[in-house]
Structure 1
Amino acid sequence: MTASATPRPARYWLMKSEPEECSIDDALAAPNATVPWTGVRNYQARNFMRDDMQVGDGVLFYHSSCPEPGIAGLARVASGTRTDPTQFDPASPYYDPKSPADKPRWLLLDVQAQRKTRVVGLAELREHPDLAQMRVLQRGNRLSITPVEPVEWAAIMEMLG
C-alpha cells in the first residue's frame, strides 16, 4: 500500500500585465480564455513560475503601467512551465541574445482568465488592514509576479463581493 500524497494548500499569485500588451479583456477573448504569460525577465519571478506555481493556483490579474493600475480580474494558472519562445525572437521586445537555445533562461506558463472585476487600485488596497504586508504595496517592489497570502486573497475576494 502506498501513502497518498497530501494535497498542498491553495496558493495565490498577483501577476502584472500592461493592458496594451494583454488586458483581462484580451485574456477573456483568447481561445479558452487562456494566454501564455510571456516576457518574464526577472529571475525571482521566473523561479516563482518554475518552482512554486501549479495548475489551479488562483491569480489576481493586475493591470500595470496604465492610467489606473490595479487588480482588474481573476484567473488561474492553467499549465506548467515551458520555454518562452520570445527570448529567441530578435523581433520581440523580450529577445535575450544571451539565452542559449540548448539551455533557455526564460519560461512561461498559461493563465486562464475567469472573470473581469472592477479595478481595485493601489489606494483602495492600501486602505485595507489585512493587506498591509502585500508585496505589491511594498516600496520598491517591481516584480511582475508575487505571491499572495491566503488572508490577502480572502480580503480581496471580500472587497470584490
Structure 2
Amino acid sequence: MNYWLMKSEPDEVSVDDALAAPRSTVPWTGVRNYQARNFMRDAMKVGDGVLFYHSSCAEPGIVGIARVASTAYPDPTQFDPKSPYFDPASRQDAPRWLLVDVQVQKKTRNLTLPELRADPDLQDLVVLKRGNRLSITPVEPRHWKTILQRLQG
C-alpha cells in the first residue's frame, strides 16, 4: 500500500464537497503537471491512503483521510473548451491528462501547514520541501502514521 498527499483548493473541491458526493467520491480533475500525472498513472493503486489537503486558502492543511478509489483514466476536462483545464493539444485518441477517483473516508480537524512544519517527525515530508509545488506527493509510511497520530491526539 502506498500513501499520498493530494492538494485541492477548497473553492474548487473541498473535503465537504467530496463527502456530499455519491459514495463520498470525486474525480481528481485538473492535474496538469506531468510528475503528478505519472504518480496517478504509474504508482497509485485502488485502496492507497490519501491525505486530503486544502491549499490556496486562509489555513492550508490536511482536512481529511481518503483512499484512491479507481485506477487512472482520462480527465474529461482536458477536452472541454469551457473548462479552465482545457488542453487543446490533448486528443481523445491520445489523452495527455489522467485522473483517479478519491473517496473521502472521514473529515478531520485541520492539521495546518505550520503544525506540519513544526513537527520534528515530519521535517522530510515531501510537501514541506522548499520549492515543492506538486499537487500530489508521496507520503512515507512513517509520515502517514505520525500524521494519523497527530490527527487523533
Assess same fold via TM > 0.5.
yes
Aligned to 1:63: 54
RMSD: 0.6
In 2, Cα distance between the equivalents of 1:23 and 1:85? 20
Larger radius of gyration: 1
Read off the aligned partner of 2:142 and give its amino acid letter: V
Gaps of 5+ in 2: none
Aligned to 2:124: 133
> What TM-score results when the alignment is normalised by the length of structure 1?
0.93
Gaps of 5+ in 1: 1-9
Aligned to 1:20: 11
Secondary structure of 2:40 counterpart: helix
The equivalent position to 2:73 in structure 1, one of 78, 82, 85, is: 82
Secondary structure of 2:83 counterpart: coil
Task: Summarize deviations over 1:40-66 as a string: whole Å, max 9, x none.
Answer: 000000000000000000000000000
Summarize the alignment of residues 3-152 of structure 1 with structure 2, pairs less than 5 Å apart: 10-152=1-143
TM-aligned CA deviation for residue 156 of structure 1:
0.2
Aligned length: 152
> What TM-score results when the alignment is normalised by the length of structure 2?
0.98
Task: Summarize deviations over 1:1-29 as a string: whole Å, max 9, x none.
Answer: xxxxxxxxx21000000000100000000
Task: Summarize deviations over 1:94-138 as a string: whole Å, max 9, x none.
Answer: 000011221010001100001110001111001111211111111
In 2, Cα distance between the equivalents of 1:160 and 1:66? 20
In 2, Cα distance between the equivalents of 1:34 and 1:56? 13
Secondary structure of 1:160 counterpart: helix
In 1, Cα distance between the equivalents of 2:137 and 2:17? 22
Secondary structure of 1:72 counterpart: strand
Task: Summarize deviations over 1:137-161 as a string: whole Å, max 9, x none.
Answer: 1111000000000010010011011
In 1, Cα distance between the equivalents of 2:64 and 2:144? 13
